[in-house]
């Protein structure tokens, strides 16, 4: 079974630009979560999508948004990039929206904002 894939793996943008990151979950998984990882703040929860609906949202500004498609693939978008948005963005998928579900993480997208 193929794991969670994220594209692109590396990205360089400049301040003020916007970026879209993509995540393909494991086949059959309907929940996709996004996380931001930085050396200073650690791993922070961004949002979770299940059946094309955002079910949970972390404490991030509105510049961070996402969506999920009918095939469970998900995208996250960051508009008006700031230097502080430089981070590793991780996507995780799970079978369903339940607290006992295991989450499977992808390798991440490394975003650098110059």
Partner 1 sequence: DAKTTQPNSMESNEEEPVHLPCNHSTISGTDYIHWYRQLPSQGPEYVIHGLTSNVNNRMASLAIAEDRKSSTLILHRATLRDAAVYYCILNTGNQFYFGTGTSLTVIP
Which residues of this protein are in contact with partner 1, per CB under 8 A?
4, 31, 33, 35, 42-45, 48, 50, 55-56, 90, 92, 94, 96-108
The contacts found for 21-24 with CB under 8 angstroms, 24 or more apart, are 21/75, 21/76, 21/77, 21/78, 21/89, 21/91, 21/109, 21/111, 22/73, 22/74, 22/75, 23/73, 23/74, 23/75, 23/76, 23/91, 23/93, 23/106, 24/73
Nearest approach in angstroms of CB 102 to partner 1 is: 5
Nearest approach in angstroms of CB 87 to partner 1 is: 13
- Nearer CB in complex with partner 1: 55/80: 55
- Nearer CB in complex with partner 1: 5/65: 5
Nearest approach in angstroms of CB 111 to partner 1 is: 15
- Nearer CB in complex with partner 1: 17/53: 53
């Amino acid at each position: 079974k193929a794991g969670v894939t994220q594209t692109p793996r590396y990205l360089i943008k400049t301040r003020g630009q916007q970026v879209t990151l993509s995540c393909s979950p494991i086949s059959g998984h309907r929940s996709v979560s996004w996380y931001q990882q930085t050396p200073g703040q650690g791993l922070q929860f961004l949002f979770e999508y299940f059946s094309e609906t955002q079910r949970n949202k972390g404490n991030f500004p509105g510049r961070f948004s996402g969506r999920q498609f009918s095939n469970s693939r998900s995208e996250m978008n960051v508009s008006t990039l700031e230097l502080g948005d430089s981070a590793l963005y991780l996507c995780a998928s799970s079978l369903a929206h339940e607290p006992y579900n295991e989450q499977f993480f992808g390798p991440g997208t490394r975003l650098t904002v110059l």
